[in-house]
Amino acid sequence: MVNYILAIVAVAFLFDFSNGFHDSANSIATVVGTRVLKPLQAVVWAAFFNFAAAFIVGTAVAKAVFTGFVPPAIVDPNVILAGLLGAIAWNVVTWSIGLPSSSSHALIGAYAGAAVAKAGLGGLVLANGKWPMTLLFIVLSPMIGAALGFMLMTAVYWIFQKMPPARVDRFFRGAQLVSSALFSLSHGANDAQKTMGIIVGLLVASKASFAGQTGWMHHLYLENGNSIPPWVEMGAYSAISLGTLFGGWRIVHTMGNRITKLRPVGGFCAETGGALSILLATTLGIPVSTTHAITGAIVGVGATTRLSAVRWGVATKIVWAWILTIPAAAAIAAMIYEVLHTVHPL
């Protein structure tokens, strides 16, 4: 059993890596699309600030994932592994077709699907849980991002209307480095914590296997989820940063160029609007999609020029991916759980 649990921890970090890889476009698409940074420079920049979030934000999202979606009492290693594999499978599918879906909602959906496969609807925290706010933020997150992107862009037009365009462009090429850093920090802050919550759930469910262990294995014993072990935090932030460093080049093209054309001033407003939207959710302990936030902000910026500046066909395709993510990942994870339960009953 110990080796099985250790393997699942490794899979959790692999998911975190895939999250960074899959979602790296969220952090770098605008700064690459505006040609402020080259792709390699952008991923190094984004990865650094993904990791820096470990020392700036708390763990409210991790604790929400641990208790807010699936009752800890029904969690076991098979539920955790099925959830992780279901989310990874959906990430691979959407990455392979260059579609910026949400790794966050893939994980939440897959985790729920595995829990329901084990315990029916009793496998979900339907009362006083995080489901209502998380589902609400599927709608609110892109709307908040769009509103902030639109308002920031409008304010910039008004403030800088008398400045020569070339000078405005030079100013915002520098400012976009700051906004890109802020967005990468918010991305790491929210997304890495979801993996932390999953690992904490696994360790609490498996605490009997590590009670009385000595040496390095005593660090795997966790009585409850009131605190996050430092090695879990550092491991999660390291994994997502490395994933971002390797990057998701196909999705960069969709996010940075196909939704709407951006200049540095637009990139600054989109990244700032998206980052503020995510940091709001992180403060409230809500696992939110960074993909939703930045896409909404890009749409908001594009809409300040004219609605036809937004390529609504691409945006619609992305929205359909959002709608399908939770049920699709849940269905995949439920099937995986049934296989695991048959092969390795607990």
Extents of the domains making up the chain: 2-343
CA distance 323 to 9: 29
- pLDDT tens by residue, 273-331: 999 999 999 999 999 888 788 888 888 888 887 665 555 666 676 677 778 889 999 99
Q: Are 74 and 119 in contact (CB under 8 A)?
A: yes
Q: Are 79 and 202 in contact (CB under 8 A)?
A: no
* Cβ partners under 8 Å of residue 36, min gap 6: 173, 176, 177, 180, 264, 267
Q: Are 286 and 137 in contact (CB under 8 A)?
A: yes
* Average pLDDT per consecutive 10 residues, the chain (346 residues; last block may be shorter): 93 91 74 78 89 92 93 95 94 76 87 96 89 88 92 93 87 91 93 94 92 84 90 96 75 49 82 94 90 84 70 65 86 97 90
CA distance 117 to 344: 15
pLDDT of residue 259: 44
Q: Are 318 and 94 in contact (CB under 8 A)?
A: no
Mean pLDDT of the chain: 86
**DSSP single-letter state for residue 70:** S
CA distance 143 to 156: 20
| Count of helices and strands (H, E) across the chain | 13, 0
Tell me, yes or no, if the pTM score tops 0.85: yes
